[in-house]
Amino acid sequence: MRAALVRLGDEEWVFFNPEIIARSEELEVEWEGCLSLPGVEAEVPRAKEVVVRALDEAGAPVELHLSELEARILQHEVDHLDGELYVDLLPKDERRRVLAEFRAACAQREKRASSLE
């Protein structure tokens, strides 16, 4: 069983075994971050619209058409379920930059934490 939780404003959806069955050819490039790599962001291209098939909280099949931010969030979460992070979608040089920035941020946090001891 795979589960994705999507929150947007006051709305919250839980998808079980989500599968993106269609993606628009039109892409949007927006800044994206992730709790797995705190403190860093990159511009990530994603499909502007997706159709997702999943089970809802009651186990009933659902098929939803999502666009823009909702589509981006769902794609991000499904990537996690597939073992990928947003940096895996970036060109090699941009991925290196983001990961170097993340390592530097981690080093800064460790330095601050050790100064508190």
Q: Which of 30, 41, 49, 77 is catalytic?
A: 77
What is the per-residue pLDDT for 102?
92
DSSP assignment string, 51-106: EEEEE-TTS-EEEEEEEHHHHHHHHHHHHHHTT--GGGGS-HHHHHHHHHHHHHHH
77 is an active site residue: yes
Distance CA 44, CA 30 (A): 6
pTM of the complete model? 0.86
Looking at domain 3-116, what is its CATH homologous superfamily? Answer: Peptide deformylase (3.90.45.10)
The larger pLDDT score, comparing residue 1 to residue 111, is at 1
86 φ, ψ to 5°? Answer: -60, -30
Q: Render pLDDT for 32-61 as a digit per residue (tens, 0 to 9).
A: 999 999 889 999 999 999 999 999 999 999
Asked if 107 and 45 touch (Cβ cutoff 8 Å), the reply is no
Domain boundaries of the chain, sorted by first residue: 3-116
